Chain A
């Protein structure tokens, strides 16, 4: 019993963190202390996760391995980055950040359980909680105090997903299928000809599609992000992605192989649609946050396009791409935190005119991250793009051509951003960026440089951890 409690300590730390933040909210503790404590709680929890990496958080329904450790580490790292950057926003705007920290803790908690989950019921519940947490963040930190259409869209899609997930669980329960992954796989194998079981499992996947912001459920994601604050956008682009990809891989490898042939069409459609809609949507957007939100849809669609084969090599390649995506998107968000005029964070593309002349280092780093996302050498993005495209070249040349065309379309959207930064003139006076922003960007750049010079760390060492999922 005590042993189990000890293994549960990372989650308990996060729970205490949530309670502490709620208490801080009541007592109106200042932001600086609140964020300092939040980071401390996260670090302690992270340390405990590493120490007990091979122990199940909740025996019987979760399992720890090197694979889960890797994704949990990424999850904590992303959450830490979000907290680090968000502190600057909340301090600058003089708004309480307790609820936001609470949301981050809840997301990490749900994410850890999602990654370690070996039970479909737990996976679905965590998905639902994750969605709810995201919605709470969106509602609490909307820019306009009115309840805007985008939030209604998000809520309606979320409720639809909940219904689909609940329906899926009901169907499986009706057929007396065990929810534990190993038993579930056997049951699915037996009843794989049953269309309802197949539909139920496809319904579970819908939850992941929504959480990842993939098309056709991307409306909630892209529209809601243009109506919220920068810390929430950073959270949305980084944190749920890690948790969902980790859990999604496990679900597909442990449970869904019997249905793999039937689900391929579904995955392929979602991935191709996301790649296309992401690229075209980014071109049509004029809000920089929306551009990158659509960019994220495109990049995650590409990731899905390679991932859905679920072989060892495609999972490895996808992980490399995911890592590169997180670094680049994290860098872009950091750069956006560093650009403000008279204390106001910018969002429309034309507000960034001439930013490169006033904040040259921030603009230069943003350019590097954008080109990295496009896979232009010699930036790290090339490694990720090469990794996934080389896999695609092996599997399907038509898809490869389609992806390259969409990359070209996306490049046009990103080029407009760079053009605005560098080649448009403006007399706007940009505020001095915080030193922490420069530090974060420098750290990111150094990390990218090290991995680019010696990608073995990423491609060999991390991938060995990834491959434990196949054992």
Chain B
């Protein structure tokens, strides 16, 4: 089955090649991208079912260099497979949300596939050098996507975005080089904790790794770049991919957190905890004050990432799968809400109707929108409810004050989302006017129906799709 893992890794690159040579101004590139992502999802499901049968991880190794000994090692477990599935499903949702002219853009789809390849590579690597390769590699396609296909033309914002990420990559590189200094060659992530490294270099490694990951997760005062960027994106797919970037930092914490010596990491935990909690409350209040749904969604995603980060840092590894289940649903909900909101916004602009009560004119979209908003707000409609409940109660047990702040932030952002839903469905006692607002098509109805079903069934069994 290691070969299946290899095929899965190569598929997006193969898709890139086909997209590159597809016809100009046609839908070939879109079809290739869609087909590639669907095939990858099938491969993930196959890997899932095989891992359930065999009961062990698949590992695939590739000797890249002999001197120094650099071996790329890839492997999957339930955690990485769930996240992969979440990433690919979000990408497909984003793809469905593209408008007709956007679907014809070859370079957009090429960069999207390339970004997805980097993301999936990051989620399956097992050694430190290939982790860096994918971690640093994903900034280029995203930078090009944001610069070329969004309204963010201000040079300082774009430069800030790139340089923040570049600094993160350099810090991770420093850590890797320090590890390399003491162990000439590749080191598996699982072996970092047992390497014989003196205290000061160990601290440098740890500080570099933590800083690199924190730069990807929007923690105050390093959150500016992502909030500036998110506010200027109107392309659903790019918005979804941009909001996926913190996942790379979070996943880094999950993987490195498993192996780093506990006494060393303890020095950083209180700092990240304080800043994390403060950021959560700050972002929740900002979300409450904004009048734009996407801004509220950005607050929701930031707070969710911070919840997972705090859970990772403060709780035992036994909660790891709860995080994975919750993250999987979170990625899909976030993507669906992005696509539906941007669709509603475009339809509203075309018809020229008010923002308030816009959903009344789109009954199909309204139902899905309400379902996803309520799910994001924490109502028991998917496994996210159970798992977030478990994580928050464990946080309460660990530290009552932290749990309280986290709970308050999540409640605030939930309220903000529900209030926005209320606004979008409320006509404020005005009579229903005749606006030609386009509702979602039959295809999209079926598509979002399937997504809803996937999420709803997860309420009963988070891994119901694994046979």
Contact = CB atoms under 8 A, between A and B. Distances in A.
B163 A376 contact: no
Query: Chain A at the B interface: mostly helix, strand, loop or mixed?
Result: helix
A422 B144 contact: yes
A377 interface: yes
Interface in B46-68: 64-68
A382 B140 CA distance: 14
Nearest to B170: A404
A376 B118 CA distance: 13
Contact of B67 (A378, A382, A412, A459): A459
A408 B107 contact: no
A407 interface: yes
Given A408-B166, A412-B159, A460 B67 contact: yes
Given A382-B133, A404-B170, A367 B163 contact: no
Interface string A388-423: 011011100100110010011001100110110011
A401 B170 CA distance: 10
A390 B180 contact: yes
Interface in B178-237: 178, 180-181, 204
B140 A376 contact: yes
B461 interface: no
Interface in B120-171: 129, 132-134, 136-137, 139-140, 144, 147-148, 153, 155, 158-159, 162-163, 166-167, 169-170
Nearest to A364: B107
Contacts of B129: 386
B147 A400 contact: no
Nearest to A392: B177
A455 B162 contact: no
A356 B148 CA distance: 10
Given A460-B66, A460-B67, A408 B167 contact: yes
Contacts of B137: 376-378
Interface in A17-73: none
A434 interface: no
Contacts of A378: 133, 137
A443 to B, nearest CB: 17
Nearest to A378: B137
B140 A371 contact: yes
Contacts of A436: none
A412 B148 contact: no
A460 B68 CA distance: 10
Interface in A423-470: 423, 455-456, 459-460
A343 interface: no
Contact of A390 (B139, B158, B167, B177): B177
Contact of B66 (A390, A422, A456): A456
Contacts of A415: 158-159, 162-163
A408 B163 CA distance: 7
A216 interface: no
Interface in A267-304: none
A404 B158 CA distance: 21
Contacts of B153: 423
Contacts of A382: 133
Contacts of B158: 415, 419, 423
Contacts of B169: 376
B174 interface: yes
A419 B148 CA distance: 9
Interface residues of A, number: 32
Nearest to B121: A378
Contacts of B66: 456, 459-460
Interface residues of B, number: 34
B212 to A, nearest CB: 12
B155 A393 contact: no
Interface in A224-264: none
Contact of B65 (A416, A418, A455): A455
B174 A401 contact: yes
Given A377-B132, A412-B159, A390 B170 contact: no
Interface string B287-301: 000000000000000
Contact of B147 (A386, A394, A422): A422
Contact of B155 (A371, A377, A419, A460): A419
Contacts of B180: 390, 393
Contacts of A377: 132-134, 136-137
Contacts of B139: 376
Contact of A411 (B64, B107, B133, B163): B163
A456 B170 CA distance: 25
Nearest to B133: A377
B173 A404 contact: yes
A394 to B, nearest CB: 5
A356 to B, nearest CB: 8
Nearest to A374: B166
A412 B163 contact: yes
Interface in A347-373: 356, 360, 367, 371
Given A408-B170, A412-B163, A393 B133 contact: no
A456 B155 CA distance: 40
A465 B122 CA distance: 36
A341 B195 CA distance: 57
Nearest to B130: A377
Nearest to B178: A393
Given A377-B132, A404-B173, A419-B158, A390 B68 contact: yes
A462 to B, nearest CB: 12
A367 B144 contact: yes
B113 to A, nearest CB: 14
The CB with the most chain B CB atoms within 10 A, among A356, A371, A407, A419, is that of A419
A394 B132 CA distance: 19
A186 to B, nearest CB: 33
A371 B169 CA distance: 13
Contacts of A456: 65-66
Nearest to A424: B153
A392 B153 CA distance: 38
Contacts of A423: 147-148, 153, 155, 158
A360 B155 CA distance: 21
Nearest to B137: A377
Nearest to A382: B133
Contacts of B133: 377-378, 382
A460 B177 CA distance: 21
A467 to B, nearest CB: 11
B177 A389 contact: yes
Contacts of B134: 377
Residue among B133, B169, B177, B180 having the largest count of chain A Cβ atoms under 10 Å? B177
A389 B166 contact: no
Contact of B173 (A367, A389, A397, A418): A389
Nearest to B179: A393
Given A378-B133, A404-B174, A416-B155, 11 more contacts: A356-B148, A371-B140, A377-B134, A386-B129, A389-B173, A390-B68, A415-B158, A423-B148, A455-B65, A459-B67, A460-B67
28 contacts: A360-B107, A376-B136, A376-B169, A377-B134, A378-B133, A393-B181, A394-B181, A397-B178, A404-B170, A404-B173, A408-B163, A408-B166, A411-B162, A411-B166, A412-B159, A412-B163, A418-B147, A419-B155, A419-B158, A422-B144, A423-B148, A423-B153, A423-B158, A455-B64, A455-B65, A459-B66, A459-B67, A460-B67
Q: Which 8 A-B pairs have the closest CB atoms?
A: A393-B177, A377-B133, A423-B147, A393-B181, A377-B137, A404-B170, A377-B136, A390-B180
Interface of B: 64-68, 107, 129, 132-134, 136-137, 139-140, 144, 147-148, 153, 155, 158-159, 162-163, 166-167, 169-170, 173-174, 177-178, 180-181, 204
